Amino acid sequence: MEELNKNGFSVIHNVFPSSECMRILDHLSNWKVGRSRAGTRHLMSCPAISSLANDKRLIALASTPLSEPAIPYRATLFEKSPKSNWLVVWHQDTSLPLSRKLDGSEWGPWSCKAGVTYARAPSWALERVVTLRVHLDHCASENGPLRVIPGSHNKGVLTENEIGAITNTQASTECVVPAGGVLLMKSLIIHASSKSKSKTPRRILHIEYAPQAGIGTGIHLAVA
């Protein structure tokens, strides 16, 4: 995991065969809860996706950078297609789902989405989680791949102006990943994606993991 620690992301090829990707897509096609234009949120409530998130291959990939056994707490499907095309501007993933509100100025602002409480988290908490993006389709340059700023995960939680200054002066990398591959990424890495220019769908399961022991005393992540 040297690449992940240094650059904030790493691509692992051939984690799932095409038959498993198709089976996952079949399950997702029948799951309508939480669906929006960009995809489907709160997928840990879907038994098939919860089972996948706990698959030993993904648990092993997530546990290594966390240096202890990992557990999934949030799963989201991001889907781009000719009927649902969208872009994401440069940002960091700084929001965590929590079982209850916490005291102290480190956390917040707070929000509630589909009954789940979210808060902007401090950098030390975000450094305790890792994201695995399971690519169910081949993701090439033309269908809106994730773009990242290598090494930006080491700069802590940044303001919009700070993110803009970095993206204007540092080169980005496209994360081209074949179907069945997994992109590991740190929450604090600066990332974005453009609209797809292809008629081929781009479907990605974005699964977030934390240590089984938790990220801090008295802090309990909600399962979403």
| Res. 33 pLDDT band, cuts 50 70 90 | low
On the question of pLDDT at 38 being above 90, the answer is no
* Band of residue 72 on the pLDDT scale cut at 50, 70, 90: very high
- Domain ranges for the chain: 2-211
Structure tokens given for 198: 């292809």
**Residue 174 in 3-state DSSP?**
strand
Does residue 73 surpass a pLDDT of 70?
yes
Average pLDDT of the residues in 199-221? 93
Are 201 and 81 contacting, i.e. CB atoms less than 8 angstroms apart? yes
Q: Is the dihedral of CA 118, 157, 148, 181 positive or negative?
A: negative
Sign of CA dihedral 23, 65, 125, 70: positive
Mean pLDDT of 199-213: 95
- Range 128-133 average pLDDT: 98
3-state secondary structure 30-65: CCCCCECCCEECCHHHCHHHHHHHCCHHHHHHHHHH
User: What distance in Å separates the CA atoms of residue 104 and residue 102, rounded to the nearest whole number?
Assistant: 7
Output the DSSP codes for 109-172. -EEEETTEEEEEPPHHHHTT-EEEEEESS-B-GGG--EEE-TTGGGG-S--HHHHHHHHHHS--
- Domain 2-211, what fold? Jelly Rolls (2.60.120)
The DSSP element (H or E) to which 23 belongs, if any, is: helix 18-29
3-state secondary structure (DSSP) of residue 74 = strand
Residue 34: band (very low, low, confident or very high) from pLDDT cuts 50, 70, 90: low
User: Strand 116-120 to strand 146-148: parallel, antiparallel, or no bridges (unpaired)?
Assistant: unpaired
Instruction: State residue 157's pLDDT score.
Output: 98
pLDDT for 103: 81
